[in-house]
Amino acid sequence: METLIQQKGNKRMRYSIAFLTLITISGISYYYYLSRYIDGIIPPFGKSTPFICETFEAEKGIEFHQPTGTHIVIPANALVDENGNKVTGKVTMKFREFQNAREIFLSGIPMQLKEDRSNYFSSAGMMELRVFKEDKPLQIAKDKKVEVELASAIQPTDDYKLYQFKNDVEWDNGTTFETKKNTRRDEALAALPDRPAAPTNPQIDTSKFIFELISDYSKMPQLKTWKNIKWRFIRSEDQLEPQEALRISWDKISIEPLENEENTFTLKFSVKMMGPKSEIVSRTYSMVASPELTGKKLELAIRNYNDKLEEYKIEFAKIEEEENRIMLESGLVNVFQIAELGIFNIDCLKTDNILATVDFNFDFENEISPKLNRVMLYLVLHKERSVVKFNAFDWDHIPVAKSDCSLLAVLPNGKVAYVSKENFEKTISKFNKLVSGMVINFKTERKEYSEVADLFKTPSDASRLN
């Protein structure tokens, strides 16, 4: 009897041990499930950045140009199927590029090397290129290469490399590339159309400040109407003296007749130049002036001007629109060849830009459990054109970098907890010095998924070199 009771007790113990072991294994597995990072491209809102699609004949190839200045050449007969067989007929190219932190964030493409989140990539331009035939992916033939000129957001230094996102899982160790001027943009600007000849040169009143507009007529052909015309300065509301203003190399000059003042015109000048922090700075100046014309010469010039004015406005608007389009292109391109289709990035691995590794706490943690809900936090580094993501198990050791940063935590209820650049800086600046291990508490703004794309939108040409 006692032996039977002992056997039953041992059996219960074995069952208990097995049950506890199963619970322990399940717990460890669940912890691994919650804490692990999923490899590859994971868009924060499920839907990634759309592609630009172009259909072409594989045996002819394609030359493809983007408004950013990016230029791609797929040569003729350069594509093969998964078995290495040459592909002919219609194929579809899919392309997208990422030139700022916003575009990189929405793509879901990781910006760190392997699992190391203490370092991150600083991008000078990233792209993805695929080709399909009837929805089946194609590759580049072994004896062919695709030529790429990728628009550059900055002037890359020597520590930048060309990285490929191998198998859409992880970045390789990088290789070399070349940076050069975007000559296509400069040639397109020089090729803008010309304008009619100017009126006769008038008499000059030497008692006033007299000047002549001298310009590169290939870039401002509308000024040919006023070629060799002497102007008399009348007034300006700008503080800059006209003598100083006319020493500036202006990009654009417009001339418009002034209402209620006979033979008087408003001259407007504008220029875009590089600022002290490599930002694009706009400068303007305007004045009221009169062409030194008299009598029949003046009547002839004004009549000729009025006859051509409407036609001129239409033509000039077309030229200005085309000029603005061309000027959106980057002044620099990074040049390389690829033997495989996929994702490529001009990057520098930042290892010495970290101020401290700190513990981030957020106000929404009182409402939901970030760990159980697998809330992903995105650290957006705007100047570095980079994004690093952290699951909640890593929020206690997040590297803070020397860069303009914002934070986005994707919550499970269709909301985003957002910390703007201004609020991030305001919170960080409360501390005299950042020390590794310190705790920083953030207050967040709640945003809809649909609002996030516009939170840190930048002008398409804001970060490109001219």
Top pLDDT among 369 and 324 is at 369
> What b-and-e string marks burial along 364-389, b requiring 16 or more CB atoms within 10 Å of the CB?
bbeeeebeeebbbbbbbbbbbbbbbb
pLDDT at position 225 is 78
| Percent of all residues in the chain with a pLDDT value above 70, rounded to a whole number | 80
Q: Tell me how crowded residue 397 is: count the other CB atoms within 10 A of its CB.
A: 15
Q: Which of 400, 360, 353, 358 is nearest to 376 (CA)?
A: 360
Domain boundary (272, 294, 327) is at 327
Q: For residue 412, is it within any domain?
A: yes
Pair (1, 65) in one structural domain: no
Domain assignment present for 174: yes
Task: Please report whether residue 199 resides in a domain.
Answer: no
Q: Are 262 and 278 within one domain?
A: yes
Using one digit for the tens of pLDDT, what is the confidence trace for 378-429? 999 888 888 989 999 999 988 887 778 899 999 988 899 999 999 999 999 8
Same domain, 180 and 214: no
Q: How far is CA 180 from CA 72, 80, 99, 183, in A?
A: 15, 31, 17, 8
The pLDDT of residue 200 is: 35
The position carrying tokens 């062409």 is: 291
The tens digit of pLDDT for each residue in 39-98 reads 888 888 877 888 999 999 999 999 999 999 999 999 999 999 999 999 999 999 999 999
Work out the pLDDT band at 460, boundaries 50, 70, 90: very low
Q: Are residues 32 and 78 in the same domain?
A: no
Lowest-confidence region among 9-13, 283-287, 379-383: 9-13
- Residue 361: partners with Cβ closer than 8 Å, 6 or more residues away: 395, 439, 440, 441, 442
CATH number at residue 79: 2.60.220
Q: Would the pLDDT of 139 be above 90?
A: yes
In order of 113, 179, 256, 345, 454, the CA distances from 170 in angstroms are 7, 25, 58, 12, 29
The predicted structure's pLDDT at residue 293: 64
Say if residue 67 is in the same domain as residue 29: no
Query: Is 254 within a domain?
Result: yes
Assigned domain for 402 exists: yes
Question: Which residue range(s) make up the domain with 432?
Answer: 352-452
pLDDT at 2: 53
pTM: predicted TM-score of the whole model, two decimal places:
0.68
Q: Between β-strands 354-362 and 439-442, what pairing exists: parallel, antiparallel or unpaired?
A: parallel
Those residues with Cβ within 8 angstroms of residue 251's Cβ, 6 or more apart along the chain or in another chain: 219, 270, 271, 272
Assign 329 a pLDDT band (cuts: 50, 70, 90).
Answer: confident
Q: Regarding predicted confidence, which is higher, 352 or 188?
A: 188
Residue 197 has what pLDDT?
Answer: 37
Q: What is the mean pLDDT of the chain?
A: 82
What tens digit of pLDDT does each residue of 357-389 get? 899 999 999 888 999 889 999 999 888 888 989
Least-confidence region, from 42-51, 133-142, 309-318, 367-376: 309-318
If asked whether residues 148 and 184 sit together in one domain, one would say yes
pLDDT at 209: 87
> Mean of the pLDDT values across residues 251-280?
84
Instruction: Report residue 285's pLDDT band, with 50, 70 and 90 as the boundaries.
Output: very high
Residue 218: its pLDDT value, please? 79
Last residue of a domain, one of 295, 319, 348: 348
Is residue 59 located within the same domain as residue 182? yes
Residue 433 sits in a domain whose CATH number is 2.60.40
Has residue 377 been placed in a domain? yes
CA atoms within a 13 Å half-sphere pointing along the CA-CB vector of 182: 31
Instruction: Tell me: pLDDT of 202 over 50.
Output: no
pLDDT of residue 437 exceeding 70, the answer is: yes
Q: Rounded to a whole number, what is the largest CA-CA distance in the chain?
A: 135
Same domain assignment for residues 339 and 441? no
Structural domain includes residue 465:
no
Q: Supply the pLDDT for residue 353.
A: 72
Residue 193 lies in a domain: no
**Together in a domain, 302 and 278:** yes
Q: What is the pLDDT of residue 418?
A: 94
**Number of independent structural domains in the chain:** 4
- How far apart, in whole angstroms, are the C-alpha atoms of residue 312 and residue 225? 10
State the pLDDT at residue 53: 96
Q: Looking at 171-185, 208-222, 431-445, which range is the least confident one?
A: 208-222
Q: DSSP 3-state helix, strand, coil percentages of the chain (rounded to 5)?
A: 25, 35, 40
What percentage of the chain has pLDDT greater than the value 90? Answer: 41
Q: Do 93 and 142 fall into the same domain?
A: yes
Predicted confidence at residue 296, as pLDDT, reads 67
- Are 106 and 170 found together in one domain? yes
Asked if 118 and 106 sit in the same domain, the reply is yes
- Residue 445 has what pLDDT? 93
